């Protein structure tokens, strides 16, 4: 069966649109806002009650960035292992623990789908995660330095502008 150039173009365009929409949806589902009413534990850290954003970092494998969303800004990196499950379900899965202890988050599925991450103490102690976190810390330090330099330049420029204004009012 032969297709006209128009039919072929429509078919290719449809394929590209569907493929692109799937990629955009997948990238949009790398973060989730989680609200806790009490403290919860992740490997290496206890999160106080509050709103947190869980998100994956595209440049690292198995490192989850956890950021506090309210007035008490807080950010940490947690090592996790990719996992899958057979059916869709809850976004956060809890691990059963000792009565009276701080509840522990066991799994995170960004969109409640079948692909997610499992938090495990052994993963937190993995030496490769320390290298990942060290690399991220270096990138954050470089970004902080750049922001501080920009602030200093802005303050210097504002001082120069104020001096020019003062000089121009004396000249009149």
Structure tokens at 147: 């922001």
Q: Name the region of 74 (left: φ>0; alpha: ψ -120 to 50; beta: rest).
A: beta
pLDDT of residue 133 exceeding 50:
yes
CA distances for 48 relative to 34, 51, 70, angstroms? 12, 9, 11
CA distance 97 to 56: 26
Phi, psi of 170 (to 5 degrees): -75, -30
Question: Total domain count for the chain?
Answer: 2
| Residue 120 and residue 55 share a domain | yes
Task: Assess whether 107 and 151 both reside in one domain.
Answer: no
Q: Is the pLDDT of residue 53 over 80?
A: yes
81 shares its domain with 146: no
Q: Give the end of a domain, one of 107, 125, 143.
A: 125
d(CA 88, CA 172): 74
pLDDT band at 171 (very low <50, low <70, confident <90, very high): low
37 and 115 share one domain: yes
60 in the same domain as 102: yes
Q: Are 44 and 78 in contact (CB under 8 A)?
A: yes
Give the structural domain span for 141: 129-172
The per-residue pLDDT for 24 is 35
Q: What are the tens digits of pLDDT across the range 64-115?
A: 889 888 777 778 888 888 889 998 988 888 887 777 788 899 999 988 889 8
Residue 116 lies inside a defined structural domain of this protein: yes
Does some domain include residue 85?
Answer: yes
Reference 80, options 7, 132, 40, 10; nearest CA is 132
In this structure, the answer to whether residues 108 and 152 fall within a common structural domain is no
Question: Domain check: are 142 and 115 in the same one?
Answer: no
Asked if 109 and 89 touch (Cβ cutoff 8 Å), the reply is yes
Secondary structure of residue 96 in the 3-state scheme: coil
Are 55 and 133 found together in one domain?
A: no
pTM: 0.53
Both 47 and 103 in one domain: the answer is: yes
């Amino acid at each position: 069966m032969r297709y006209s150039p128009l039919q072929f173009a429509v078919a290719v365009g449809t394929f590209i649109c569907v493929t692109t929409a799937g990629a955009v949806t997948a990238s949009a589902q790398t973060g989730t806002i989680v609200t806790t009413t009490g403290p919860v534990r992740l490997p290496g850290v206890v999160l106080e009650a509050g709103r947190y954003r869980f998100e994956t970092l595209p440049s690292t494998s198995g490192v989850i960035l956890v950021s506090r969303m309210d007035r008490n800004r807080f950010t940490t990196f947690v090592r996790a292992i990719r996992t899958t499950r057979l059916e869709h379900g809850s976004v956060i899965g809890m691990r059963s623990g000792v009565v009276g202890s701080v509840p522990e988050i066991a799994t995170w599925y960004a969109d409640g789908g079948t692909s997610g991450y499992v938090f495990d103490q052994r993963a937190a102690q993995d030496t490769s995660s320390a290298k990942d976190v060290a690399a991220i810390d270096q990138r954050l330090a470089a970004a902080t330095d750049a922001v501080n330099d920009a602030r200093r330049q802005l303050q210097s420029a504002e001082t120069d502008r104020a001096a020019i204004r003062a000089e121009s009012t004396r000249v009149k």
